[in-house]
Structure 1
Amino acid sequence: MREFVACVSLLLVTSGVFGQEPVDYRLPPGIRPLSQTIELRIDPGQPEYSGEVVIRLQVDDDAERIGIYQVGLDLASIALASGEQSRDLEATAGDYEISWLADGKPIRAGQYELTIEFSGRHSTDALSMYRVRFEDNDYIFTQFESMYGRRAMPLFDEPAFKIPYAMTIIAPAEHTVVSNTPVAERSVDDGWQRVEFLPTKPIPSYLIAYALGPLDRARIKGMSVPGYVYTPKGHAGEVGFVQRETPRILEALEDYMGTPYPYRKLDFVAVPEFAFGAMENPGLMTFRTDLLLVGDKAQGQMAVTTLGIIAHEVAHSWFGDLVTMAWWDDLWLNEAFATWWSQYALGRVYPQFEVELRLPQISAFATDQRTTSTAIRRPVRNEQEIFSNLGLNYSKGATVLRMIEDYVGHETWRRGVQHYLNKHAWGNATDVDFWSAISAVAGTDVGSIATGYFNQPGFPVVDINADGNVSQQRYVPYGLDAPDLQWQVPLNIKYKQDGKIRETFFLLEEEAGRIDLPENADWIMPDAGANGYFRWQTAPQQYYSLVDDAAELTDREKIALLDNSEALLNAGRLSLGDYLYVIDALLSEPHPLVLLPVLQKLKSIGNNFIDSSSADLFGRFIDESLVDRYAIMGFEARPGDSEAMLQMRPALVRLLGEYGHDSAVRNSAADVAERYLSSPGAVNSDVGREALRVTALADDGGRYEDYIETYLGSRSARQKSAILSSIYFQNSKIIERHFDFLLSAAVQAGDAIRGIGAYADILDDHATIYGWLGNNLDALEAKIPQYQHALLPERLIGICTDANLQLMQEFFGSRGEKYAESLSKASESLKTCIGRREREREALLAFLDQYAG
């Protein structure tokens, strides 16, 4: 009990965010929680549960009512006590999922205990407190971020309310019960166990977590705190890789942050049904099963993904858990840093994966280039607004952080981060707090640079001509208009003159400026290091010279050059012929991870430029460019393959198998697919997945039963994930049958929409998709997580044709306002793609004509 009180005292000292102006979508200032006890009675085998919460409150000024969040709960009793006095309150539903508690009498300033008895039903959509049936066993898991805790229990469900929670769970005695903190006491009576957990440190409500059911566990040794990996029954033997590598990641984090891991334990839970990828609940982090159940050895993309997500979630222990954003408009403070740090950690701890060649800005640019894009920092009133452009919090945020780190220097940045964490530990912070801390250590105002990227949508395109004149404007895809904006752009400039490579720096603070550059430079690369969040263009001859001399660039810069060239194509600044010239120049790159994005760009061309009139020539181009490389590498991993080779091979075999004419590739795919279905451990899972896809694309549906039967009988999380993401049979009856299967209990809620979106990416004609949705939209939305509903148009962009655009607009345009924002973004992407294809058709045919005959 002493520790619980101490936590409350700490909270009162460190939290200073309750002076916000009143807004209708947040609880009013002046009434705040100090601590909360939670008691739940749960049986995973039953759909209902019951509970009681006791919340210590501070009321600063007399009030008429108390606001609290709850959704769909049956509130049996509500009592407000102060000393010996107690009164019953009644709940009235308000806007924004707030319930107002009152009895018609004033609530005087002071401290109170608010006790609420309630009951509810377990969710089934992988959000809030939800029930999962997995391999004939019942489990309970939680996912409270962002606004789902209120569906499980009454809460002051805002991130600014960081308080200690004391959890007690009453459950059938045979089940394992875990939560954020270690068990304080356990007792058993009449077949039921009562498990009391130690109070948490001050945390926001969205980080409350617990799990129960027939869980097995495996210990993680070698960490500064105890830890286990909890798995569904019978799967604890599949986490050897995670057991071995997690201590290395935690040690690197503690070293970088300069402080020990701040919580009592570090447990992971492999969750068989999950709406997201993972969740950073302190002391009890949750992950999709296919991220943790990877066996004793993981390689290639599988290893990079698992390690990267573990690093991301554990980094949240400092950024997000220890220091929490004050409101959802600063969610980037959590996600951008965790994304940046996960890449830094993998580069430091696992140099063999060369993760520096994975540029997060590539995915950020693709989303942020839309004129419908919104700023990362903007007013957020509800769940849907959190998920609008959510990915930019990760990708764009991490890119801008790396750009600022590059600007101030790595060690200065690190000391600034540590200063920020130390100053705001156990409390909340805003963007101003973060940039003030970095600026104080750096001795210069970096916030003025950064806020232009966080507080505005989009990004600049920087033009540099041969004599050093430089200017900026907002990047906009061809044919579109958007309000012009301005940024401060740090330019690390590399150029070649008289056979020598030189570098200089220039901060473009206005719309235009002048850089001291020699007029006779062979080429100019304005993004040396490839850390910038901007596009760029130089004089045409200098651009071509840079492409021809790409060997002088780092591997990271080569990838940035490729992606920048695609952006210039999309803006109408570079022809498709010139873009293909860049691709052709980089196809001979020896480094597999430089070739990988080239292959990905070629696949994008195949999806969005190639039709029946150009498919044969495009296939010949693919064969001539890549068959020799394939002959050396083969379809499957070989002894001595580098990690880079293991990451690149799946993309190579997919491209050759889907677009090339070499039947040997498809024959190998069929053989590997057969072996992967019968014995997943015998084949690299990344290659196995692409073999399944290539085989399905070449099959009219005859093997669909083989895929589904294997999926239903498999106990391998990785194999099940690979199969479900590889159902590419294009027979319309098979497609409809598969969509029906996605609605069945055999498919987890979080996976259903992935299967439908996969078909949007491979079908030239989306009529089958929308025909099925017309009859099944309600059933689909009843199954999938709630946050996915409004995002459906963006999940179905896929192949860009006028017909597919019309189908999307007619379908979603008539179905209500909730789809409007996503439909606007999806429509813009499709229109831009369609226009580009028509505009560049002749250039494509001219390039491919060299492969005729």
Structure 2
Amino acid sequence: MHRFARPFALTVLAMCCGAALASTPADQAPHGTLPRWAVPESYQLSFKVDPKQQDYSGTTTIKVDLKQAADHLWLDGRDLNVSKVTITDASGTAHDGKYVAVAPNEGVSRIDFGSTLKPQQLTLTIEYTAPLNQQLQGLYKVSHAGVPYAMTQMEPISARYAFPGFDEPGFKTPYDISLTIPSDVTAVANTKQTGEAAAGAGWKTLTFAKTQPLPTYLVAFAVGPWDIVNGPDISPDDYRTDVLPLRGIAAHGEGHRMQHVLSETPSIIHTLENYYGFGYPFGKLDLLAAPDFSAGAMENPGLVTFRDWLLLLDPDSPAKYVRGSFNVTAHELAHQWTGDTVTLAWWNDIWLNEAFATWMQQKVTMKVHPEYRADLDRIHGAEGAMQNDSLTSARQIRQPITGNGDIETAFDGITYQKGAAVIGMFEGYVGEDTFQKGMRAYIQAHKFGNAKADDLVGAIATAANQGETFKHAFNSFLDQSGVPYVQAQLDQKNGKTILHLTQSRYLPTGSTGNANRVWGIPVCVRYATSDGTKQSCELLDKATASMVLTDASTPTWVMPNANARGYYRFSLSKKDWANLTQHVAALSDTEQLAYADSIDAGFRHGDLNAGDVMTALKPLTSVATREVAVAPLETIEWIYSNEATTDAQRAKVEAWVKDAYLPRMEQLGYQRKSGEPEGDSLLRSALAEVLALDFKLPEVRTALLKQGDAALAKKADGHLNLTAADPDLLGVALAVAVQERGEPALDALIAELPQTTDPALRNAMLQGLSATDTPALADKARDFALTKQVKVGEMAAILRGGHDTPAARDALWNWFTGHYDQVIARTGSFAGGRLPSLVGGDGCSKAEADRLQAYFEPRLKDVTGADRGLAQTREQTLLCTALKAKQDPSKI
């Protein structure tokens, strides 16, 4: 899943043995995993749903293997109004049971049998009603163009909102789903529709084929007046004998915009089948554009759901949406093997789903669209994860679950991007063909079942003929947090060039963490020889080691992370840094990204000052590769915002930026050119946003304001002329216009947004609304974010504005603390882990850290997952404060 993390709160105890669980008192709810003495074997799910209504009804029938005598069992259900429970024993005798919501805030419930039953197969039938959820969880209600729809989002633990069941990934069973819906709408589900029958005046019942074994979080269906459009059939291949039907599902009137993504999908499926040696096993494939969604996308087998802007594309759609569409589709379809066919046993191994889907997405993209440079995306993603992983409050990849909040907040950069980088590092260590052999064995061994980390690591080790040393090295990255810091020192001895390596945990200035930590790191270095360069590799699994650099030139330079394959940062002596900087053009573009990140790391570690950084990063700004050219900007922006305290210092940084980037911006121009590479469009939009909004260069703002004014001009029909701006620049143009024109521009966007259904145009307007830099107008935009005219999933796009200056952050803080209850009421639990960052992110003073702690600490019970979000946001704020205090602005 591509996801914006969501949380809950609950103390989770480790799963006990079967005998102990059987004796769980009937009034004491189990926490975390449910007892294994009652195990579901299959479900029949029947729903009666009218999206126009506020409630729906359902009947859930579960065949349960009761493994030992008991007078009750535990399952999950939340906000369900259960009217009847029928228990049918193995002999076919039925009697009434009782449903008790023992821990309603946690979604844990009990079925009382009325007497002690011996071990046997039971059939539970539970009849209930429930509200269509308003917070994008379970079975929820959403609208498009004023028309209501109902659809599902079950991951991670929201199936309990939709139906009673065993809501854990370790329980995989087949499902039979039937939907009774109004006669004038349609419905889709995980599997093919097998029947339709009248169900009384104005109603019909649709039935669907039995699913493969699934966990509850992958059950999916959607009801409404959907457009259903056929894509190209996906042809049989060496691993699948049947044609795979492909369809696009979109809100009424939007189906025609699905053709691009449907045309790309067959190549993704074939690439995945060829890699895994295992055909797509779920019978049919629908891609659904959700009108509102809490995640980016969700991998439900047979019915993959997405935020609508990822699927609804036009010929002039922004390049970032076109590439994003392919990447996210590749990610979700990779899940059909890692996640859907093979499912994690418990949430501590969510990386088995998400890290592998991220890693595989990048392999697919490199295969089908090499020009998208997914190899650079991997490195950029890993370096983003390193920012979080440098915190002492960072999660492990394989994080123990101590509460439902840990489940929700596990969907983060550590799981996705760090996990993918670690997988890629060990893939490079054993070789791609060997790694593929291990992955194929893993899928075959656990298909339609569950797996744990040891299963995967063991499969790779077996394929690579590796033993415990390899497993320990891999697990050292899974089971401890932090970024390795490899310090490299060149030495000449007895006519040999020796590279001394020391590893520790990377900790930025101001960190209170312990740097003494050791990983098993596959370290590869590139160095200069008389006729080019060479590589040397070693598994660094001790605190120190040395490598002889055979045939190294004298003097030589060294790049301590060859091909940027390793998940670690490196440091060099000042002499060796200077030497490497002189040869940065000799590095590959992947290595140039790692170079930029380690320069930033050295700055934040306290080894380099701002002047050193600006000198070291300047050569990258003229590199042709877009991702490399813009890599210095985040570090330079920090110096500009936090270290440059006088007009002269700020002018010096502005001059650096202007010299480095303005000629390139002007060469690109402010309009997309016919036939230009997508990379130019992406670079144009990236530079325009940073130069106009972060550094506020007048030349760029003037050009964008012209487009913003044109977009805000009303057409004859009374709507804004949003297509007057370049589609890649519309959002930043509107942002500049709001900042320059003030309230009239803001009011125009507030009036237009409810009348606009196009998701790309809505996103651009949201960027404009978030950009206002006047406190009173910012409050007006935030007030608007709380209304139903802004979708629940869009709220953060407005609220994340106002972080640029201390005054803006103070204004955001005052508004948020005055509207806290309204924000929580609208978002429910799905955004709780992000709230501290949303309101306190980018803080850089102890006062900001202290107020964040004082406000959220007594409210942690309100939204689960906020405890981790609070710890990390507070630590980031204190680290920024410490780095700022260490700086000498005269060194700029």
Task: Normalising by structure 1, report the TM-score.
Answer: 0.93
Alignment of 1:681-720 (within 5 A): 683-720=725-762
Alignment of 1:269-280 (within 5 A): 269-280=288-299
Counterpart of 1:773 in structure 2 is 816
Assess if the C-alpha contact under 8 Å between 1:620 and 1:660 holds in 2. Answer: no
Q: What amino acid maps onto 2:589 in structure 1?
A: D
Counterpart of 1:524 in structure 2 is 558
User: Residues 568, 667 of structure 1: CA spacing in aligned structure 2 closer, same or farther, 3 A cutoff?
Assistant: same
- Superimposed CA distance per residue, residues 761-797 of structure 1 (whole angstroms, 9 cap, x where no aligned partner): 5664322212212221111111114131243112234
Q: What amino acid maps onto 1:222 in structure 2?
A: D
1:474 aligns with 2:497: no
User: In 1, distance between residues paired with 2:694 and 2:361?
Assistant: 35
Assess if the C-alpha contact under 8 Å between 1:128 and 1:151 holds in 2. Answer: yes
Q: What amino acid maps onto 1:283 in structure 2?
A: G
CA offset at residue 542 of structure 1?
A: 1.3
1:291 aligns with 2:310: yes
CA offset at residue 675 of structure 1?
A: 4.4
- Superimposed CA distance per residue, residues 515-574 of structure 1 (whole angstroms, 9 cap, x where no aligned partner): 113594522112101011111112221121111101110011101100111011111122
Alignment of 1:641-656 (within 5 A): 641-656=676-691
Q: What amino acid maps onto 1:537 in structure 2?
A: S
Alignment of 1:197-596 (within 5 A): 197-224=208-235, 225-296=244-315, 298=317, 300-358=319-377, 359=379, 360-391=381-412, 392-445=414-467, 446-467=470-491, 468-483=499-514, 484-498=516-530, 500-517=532-549, 520-596=554-630
User: Residues 507, 220 of structure 1: CA spacing in aligned structure 2 closer, same or farther, 3 A cutoff?
Assistant: same
Higher alpha-carbon deviation: 636-645 or 219-228? 636-645
What SS does the corresponding residue of 1:754 show, helix, strand or coil?
helix
How many positions carry a matched residue from both structures?
829
- Superimposed CA distance per residue, residues 186-224 of structure 1 (whole angstroms, 9 cap, x where no aligned partner): 012311011111111100000011101111122111314
Assess if the C-alpha contact under 8 Å between 1:749 and 1:785 holds in 2. Answer: no
What SS does the corresponding residue of 1:161 show, helix, strand or coil?
coil
CA offset at residue 691 of structure 1?
A: 2.0
User: Residues 216, 659 of structure 1: CA spacing in aligned structure 2 closer, same or farther, 3 A cutoff?
Assistant: closer
User: Residues 662, 68 of structure 1: CA spacing in aligned structure 2 closer, same or farther, 3 A cutoff?
Assistant: closer
* 103, 128, 138: which one aligns with 1:128: 138
Higher alpha-carbon deviation: 101-110 or 604-613? 604-613
Q: What amino acid maps onto 1:254 in structure 2?
A: E
Higher alpha-carbon deviation: 308-317 or 81-90? 81-90
User: In 2, distance between residues paired with 1:812 and 1:161?
Assistant: 35
* 877, 880, 883: which one aligns with 1:830: 877
User: In 1, distance between residues paired with 2:553 and 2:528?
Assistant: 11
1:840 aligns with 2:887: yes
Q: What amino acid maps onto 1:191 in structure 2?
A: G
Q: Which has the higher contact order (CA 8 A, sep 6+)?
A: 2
User: In 1, distance between residues paired with 2:740 and 2:579?
Assistant: 41
User: In 1, distance between residues paired with 2:814 and 2:31?
Assistant: 41
Sequence identity percentage: 27
User: In 1, distance between residues paired with 2:20 and 2:728?
Assistant: 51
User: In 1, distance between residues paired with 2:886 and 2:609?
Assistant: 9
User: In 1, distance between residues paired with 2:645 and 2:582?
Assistant: 30
- Superimposed CA distance per residue, residues 87-129 of structure 1 (whole angstroms, 9 cap, x where no aligned partner): 2222333354321212442121111111111111111011111
1:808 aligns with 2:832: no
User: Residues 681, 697 of structure 1: CA spacing in aligned structure 2 closer, same or farther, 3 A cutoff?
Assistant: closer
User: In 1, distance between residues paired with 2:392 and 2:320?
Assistant: 33
CA offset at residue 261 of structure 1?
A: 0.9
User: In 2, distance between residues paired with 1:350 and 1:807?
Assistant: 47
User: Residues 610, 200 of structure 1: CA spacing in aligned structure 2 closer, same or farther, 3 A cutoff?
Assistant: farther
Assess if the C-alpha contact under 8 Å between 1:530 and 1:556 holds in 2. Answer: yes
User: Residues 521, 785 of structure 1: CA spacing in aligned structure 2 closer, same or farther, 3 A cutoff?
Assistant: farther
Task: Normalising by structure 2, report the TM-score.
Answer: 0.90
Higher alpha-carbon deviation: 649-658 or 262-271? 649-658
User: Residues 608, 214 of structure 1: CA spacing in aligned structure 2 closer, same or farther, 3 A cutoff?
Assistant: farther
Unaligned runs of 5+ in 2: 1-15, 22-29, 236-243, 492-498, 713-719
User: In 1, distance between residues paired with 2:696 and 2:164?
Assistant: 61
Q: What amino acid maps onto 1:504 in structure 2?
A: S
CA offset at residue 815 of structure 1?
A: 3.1
1:795 aligns with 2:868: no
Assess if the C-alpha contact under 8 Å between 1:319 and 1:333 holds in 2. Answer: yes
User: Residues 312, 429 of structure 1: CA spacing in aligned structure 2 closer, same or farther, 3 A cutoff?
Assistant: same
Counterpart of 2:717 in structure 1 is none
Unaligned runs of 5+ in 1: 1-16, 848-853
User: In 1, distance between residues paired with 2:625 and 2:328?
Assistant: 25
Q: What amino acid maps onto 2:557 in structure 1?
A: W
User: In 2, distance between residues paired with 1:828 and 1:142?
Assistant: 36
- Superimposed CA distance per residue, residues 150-209 of structure 1 (whole angstroms, 9 cap, x where no aligned partner): 011101111111100000111100011111011111012311011111111100000011
User: In 1, distance between residues paired with 2:555 and 2:526?
Assistant: 10
Assess if the C-alpha contact under 8 Å between 1:465 and 1:539 holds in 2. Answer: yes
1:185 aligns with 2:206: no
What SS does the corresponding residue of 1:418 show, helix, strand or coil?
helix
- Superimposed CA distance per residue, residues 242-285 of structure 1 (whole angstroms, 9 cap, x where no aligned partner): 12111121121111111211111110111111011000000111
User: In 2, distance between residues paired with 1:763 and 1:195?
Assistant: 56
What SS does the corresponding residue of 1:456 show, helix, strand or coil?
coil
Assess if the C-alpha contact under 8 Å between 1:126 and 1:274 holds in 2. Answer: yes
What SS does the corresponding residue of 1:89 show, helix, strand or coil?
strand
Higher alpha-carbon deviation: 518-527 or 101-110? 518-527
Counterpart of 1:53 in structure 2 is 60
What SS does the corresponding residue of 2:881 show, helix, strand or coil?
helix
What SS does the corresponding residue of 2:761 show, helix, strand or coil?
helix
CA offset at residue 238 of structure 1?
A: 1.4
* 78, 87, 103: which one aligns with 2:95: 87
1:741 aligns with 2:784: yes
What SS does the corresponding residue of 1:465 show, helix, strand or coil?
strand
Q: What amino acid maps onto 2:40 in structure 1?
A: P
